[in-house]
Structure 1
């Protein structure tokens, strides 16, 4: 067998006092990962460092460990770490080294998914937008410009980890790395450049000599020695297995719920369903399962991709605030304990599989020494099933798997939840209902004469803003040569939102959705016989995060017309337009305390339902340690800052099919807060009422229930 099919190179760590200690060697065979000479069944959980705060990391990791996890998995976020070419940022929420060291300090392993394309419902799939302007670039293809920058960043991260001694081969916690991400979804689009890119990426990664294995998820053609892994909700049913008998069966994304978008409804995946499919994967000789997400967290700032909510995977075992969500956390904890209790036999025993009937089957692991573990499956969705196994009768609940630790006694059933449910409560701590506490600034609506960037066509939105802002103003002016009766402004856009202002009068807004590629805006307007000014604000709610040829995507306005009831249509698409990137308040950064005086704030009666308005006030930090959130249920759409830090986009006015807002509570990490005089700034885009928002504390009714599984953790 070639060396890389079973073992990674041994590395020896020299200890300062002259002693020598052998670092953990990480390898694999057809059964499992092998760490320090021992086969392992590992449970892992995704926690993304920039979606929480450094102050939250220790608690999140500790709760993951208490929940029975062995590994913390995270992506690496290229656009955060290299916002400009060769200018790097690894501080604060971006301090990857600190995060990995915290994992190590708590005695867990780490899986580093470098990508550097990550998707992850993250704006532009994690790519920095400056990559778009590299001449001749085609992302994720056998394309020299792209490969140059991809290799540079991947090497940067690997060398950073090596310099801190963070690979297991150096005595650190990182036991796995990932290159690329779900590439097989788009590989065919690149034709012959796809497979050659996969081979190049694998060779490049392995050549960096991390001393630990590399994986490619959803990549059945992952070249040796890279391990192909599964993503999804049902990998025990859908995974075709490793592409070599010498590679283990691994599941890098077991989705604990599903992503959520503005205007959408939450996807609720039960604890029983997660446990069933996880146990089935283990029964079929799976050795590694990672929950995506174990803690979702928050898409702070403008980091969410197209239409994705600010709250991320709130239905995970640890919710957005880091609170334990029951019964999901506890039920999985008990399952982890049961499988850990059986792991020696699962890794050493011979597996057999047989059927009890059409919908019932068993997976049995038998050791020569006598050890025996059985998984009894009932795939009937509605009915109990009674099966005879080794002369013992077992009653199996619908859609369940029972684990028999000695092939006689059931120690866990995926359908039997013994963890009590909990509920999350938001309690109003402070109301902002006093007009005296607020000040406002109405942003300036630019006209054509105010703009310096001009073009005789409708420019593409993303290439114009360079992702420096969600907002791009399209402005034009014209004088009517003939009358236009009952004029209607008609706009077609491949952006996400458009607002229309004619002669400084706001005529309304329209938007698309996550599942639509564009939208149309039509609204009656008023024109005069003199010069008419049209200002259209195009808005992106995050950049796209998936699919081939991201560098060629088009967003923004594609057609602008004024339709007259009798005189026909006047097309403005190819006339001269003026452009302004961003809002004035953004440019002046008036959400920062030191920049507040850059504009004249009004202290008169506060406007409500007023578009393009900034609001500011101050508040005191709530007492205690409970998580904090802003209830923005009376606002429309915009962004919110606390002490100069953006806690994300809000879009309360985009309601789902049930007529409710997708998200009204917005997480305010306590680490952002001072004891008093905290600055709150809102940019309201469509109109809302800041006098009815509140600052809430979040609590949960949690009852820890000891069970007979707890001794398995000792």
Structure 2
């Protein structure tokens, strides 16, 4: 059969399957021959559960979105080289098919470096131990593993027919992620890596375009895209006149760290900058990052990032509408779509309407050519009246009016018609009865109980291999010298330390997201002869960004005993190490944990450290989302029925004296009707008797929104 005949037959077969050709030019993506203005929202499948994916997608669609965007999380899917996991919350194919079933498109950001406030930027930690590896540069070992995983994902999507070229929903793929932030650190090798990554991705022949975000030198045919809050102002534009202006991350809030306060971005501000991007930059694709943030279950959040993720997004952590943000953006999307053909086909012009005012007009050709206009007031304080086409228009401060017909205002970014709502937390059960609790005191190891020995302080992450947040450093210190007023001084580049002498707690200290190292100095009682010093080093997530991630150092850097007379440097003494806690080794949090574990009645709840607590509870009767209020706890980790609902750190207060997070989401799919097992590991003296189980709902309010935007 002639080649042209084969091609015709294949094309007809693809058309029969509903395949859509996705191309682009300097104006927009072109899907099946049609230009489209696309509104997209980031929803990350492992940050929620398969049971609520359909609801989240449906609410996104109702809000006017036509694309769902997600990263692909390498460390979840390939926990060991060549061993893959796509089950449960990791079922990427199921997630994409659910999006397809609801009639939306997908932007698949394979990366496979994602950052995303996700531990180690999404890299599996085993990469760290590949000989000679340097991440994200022209390094053969890294490129091999990166290409293997990217190919694995693309092949999986192709085998399931999920690319638009096969009749599936995926219209865009992304390779790498904000690489230009680190590119200079790698010099020429960085530039070669960009070229390689683009060529490698395009060579996989997905049939849909590839993008690189924040990458002004993205090689053809890969499209460079903008990330940020103000891409209508900051985007320098596509690096070729044949590429469209795409905004892959419009930050609806900002990630939240322990010791920090939430960032509140108003609905009006988001709407202003979306509209400006479309008007000024000819933008035709805007993605909200995040549209639903969800929950950093387990140990998935990166350094110091709280368990709740982008709770201020249009859909909050629980999947509830956050108003007026969701509703205001829905109105914006409808206004833009009402004139989308004119915006995509018309000729753009702009002109001054005043010192801080400007207009943008899109006009189609011909006598009956349609017209759409945007009237912009950049004055942040004053209302301004402008004249446009013999009509007068009042523009509120810092706003854009949309005129789909160049006459009538159908939407103004600063005029919010959606009522605000507020979250209602309804207590269902308290855990205030001591006889409902059991406890298990974890063991504080000493030097003689450790098997890994070194004559130096080892780097934390390289020892734990990310199997645990916890690493014990133990030392046997022979004290036969004169030492008055002894103090233990520990310098650390981890996140938290707790120090013990002969099993007695001495004290703890921690750093912060912005302070990378810290010092613990505590009095210590030294016995004549042998003293056992045990120091627990703690990571609260691994770093997720920056050049040379594989070279990062965490853990103890110096240890000294300071006396009035002199100091004793123990840094290069003989140290013993233990990875993790005894309770972790025993999987004490599992529903069917080791039957040999002996739980005891609840003892003193005020000062205990390194202790496990267990209780049971029944599920709330309503269908509302469920959350634990852990405001009486200190720092640790919480499980329900063996499922981790994440780290908590209540004792770390922000500048206004409050914890960064007290409510912890328990997905309904984690729960049984009765007899749910709650297990907490507490480091820092928290009191479980004041924990409560709550349902979460929302209600509209007529009052001023205040900070509820």
Q: Which residue of 2 aligns with 1:489?
A: 488
Unaligned 5+ residue runs, structure 2?
1-7, 703-709
Instruction: Deviation per CA, 1:40-63: give whole Å up to 9, x if none.
Output: 100000000000000010000000
1:286 counterpart (240, 260, 283): 283
Q: Does 1:672 align with 2:686?
A: no
Contact 1:11 1:25 (C-alpha < 8 Å) held by counterparts: no
Aligned residue among 335, 346, 349 for 2:346:
349
Partner SS for 1:192: helix
User: 1: distance between equivalents of 2:12 and 2:675?
Assistant: 50
C-alpha deviation, 1:71, in angstroms: 0.1
| Contact 1:498–1:511, Cα closer than 8 Å, also in 2 | yes
Matching of residues 231-310 of structure 1 within 5 Å: 231-284=227-280, 285-310=282-307
**Corresponding residue for 1:686?**
684
Q: CA deviation at 1:606?
A: 5.3
**1:544, 1:14 → 2: CA distance?**
47
Matched residues in 2 for 1:696 and 1:103: separation?
30
1:699 correspondence with 2:700: no
In the alignment, the residues of structure 1 paired with residue 696 and residue 139 of structure 2 have an alpha-carbon distance, to the nearest angstrom, of 49
Match in the other structure for 1:652? 650
Indicate conservation of the 8 Å contact 2:437/2:602, yes or no. no
Q: Name which of structure 1's ranges 526-535 and 54-63 shifts more when overlaid on structure 2.
A: 526-535
SS in 2 for 1:65: helix
Deviation at 1:22, TM superposition (A): 5.0
Give the 3 Å change call, closer, same or farther, for CA 343–370 of structure 1 in structure 2: same
Output the CA distance in 2 between the equivalents of 1:65 and 1:463.
44
Q: Does the 8 Å CA contact 2:17/2:166 hold for their aligned counterparts? A: no
- Is the alpha carbon distance of 1:98 and 1:21 closer, same or farther for their aligned partners in structure 2, counting shifts above 3 Å? closer
1:295-334 matched pairs, under 5 angstroms: 295-334=292-331
Aligned ranges 1:158-169 → 2 under 5 Å: 158-169=154-165
Question: What is the DSSP-based 3-state SS (H/G/I as helix, E as strand, rest coil) of the residue aligned with 1:422?
Answer: strand
Q: Structure 1 599/21 Cα, relative in aligned 2: closer, same or farther at 3 Å?
A: closer
Residue in 2 that maps onto 1:4 = none
CA distance in 2, matches of 1:21, 1:635: 56
Give the deviation of 1:594 after TM superposition. Answer: 1.4
Contact 2:175 2:210 in 1 (8 A): yes
Q: Secondary structure at the match of 1:60?
A: helix
For residues 648 and 21 of structure 1, what CA distance do their matches in structure 2 show?
A: 43
**Partner secondary structure for residue 695 of structure 1:** strand
CA RMSD of aligned residues (A): 1.3
The 8 Å contact of residues 480 and 529 in structure 2, kept in 1 or not, is answered as no
1:12 is displaced (CA, Å) by 3.5
2:422 is the alignment partner of 1:415: no
Report the Cα distance in structure 2 between the residues aligned to 1:675 and 1:625, rounded to whole angstroms.
12
> 1:13 Cα shift?
6.6
Kindly state the Cα deviation for residue 477 of structure 1 after the two structures are TM-superposed: 0.8
Alignment partners' CA distance in 2, 1:262 and 1:385: 42
Aligned-pair distance for 1:357?
2.0
- State whether residues 473 and 576 of structure 2, in contact with CA within 8 Å, keep that contact through their aligned partners in structure 1: yes
Relative to structure 2, which stretch is displaced further, 500-509 or 313-322?
500-509
Match of residue 364 from structure 2:
367
- Is 2:629–2:694's contact at 8 Å kept on the other side of the alignment? yes
> In the alignment, which of 28, 34, 40 is matched to residue 36 of structure 2?
40
Structure 2 match to 1:204: 200
Question: Could you report, residue by residue, the CA deviation over 1:433-459 in whole angstroms, capped at 9, with x for unpaired residues?
Answer: 111111000000000010000000000
Distance 1:459 1:590 in 2: 27
1:608-659: per-residue Cα shift (whole Å, max 9, x none)?
3310000001100000110000000000000000000100000000000000
Query: CA contact under 8 A between 1:492 and 1:520: conserved in structure 2?
Result: yes
Using structure 2 for the length normalisation, give the TM-score: 0.96
Task: Tell me which residue corresponds to 2:706.
Answer: none
Could you say if the C-alpha distance between residues 332 and 10 of structure 1 is closer, same or farther in structure 2, counting changes exceeding 3 Å?
farther
Q: Give the match's secondary structure for 2:339.
A: helix
Structure 1 partner of 2:166: 170
Q: Is the 8 A contact 2:246 2:286 kept in 1?
A: yes
Counterpart in 2 of 1:642?
A: 640
Question: How far apart are residue 602 of structure 1 and its match?
Answer: 0.3
Asked if structure 1 preserves the Cα contact closer than 8 Å seen for 2:306 and 2:661, the reply is yes
Aligned residues: 692
Runs of 4+ in 1 over 4 A off after TM superposition: none
TM-aligned CA deviation for residue 596 of structure 1: 4.5
Q: In structure 2, what is the Cα distance between the partners aligned to 1:10 and 1:287?
A: 33
In the alignment, is the contact (CA less than 8 A) between 1:12 and 1:22 conserved in 2? no
Q: 1:132 aligns with which of 118, 122, 128?
A: 128
Using structure 1 for the length normalisation, give the TM-score.
0.96
Counterparts of 1:453-532 in structure 2, within 5 Å, are 453-532=452-531
Partner residue in 2 for 1:87 = 83
Instruction: Select 1:624's aligned residue among 616, 622, 625.
Output: 622
CA-CA distance at 1:481 after TM superposition: 2.8
Q: Distance in 2 between matches of 1:31 and 1:410?
A: 25
Structure 1: segments with no counterpart, 5+ residues: 1-8, 705-714
CA distance in 1 between counterparts of 2:547 and 2:199 reads: 22
Mapped to 2, the partners of 1:269 and 1:28 lie a distance apart of 32
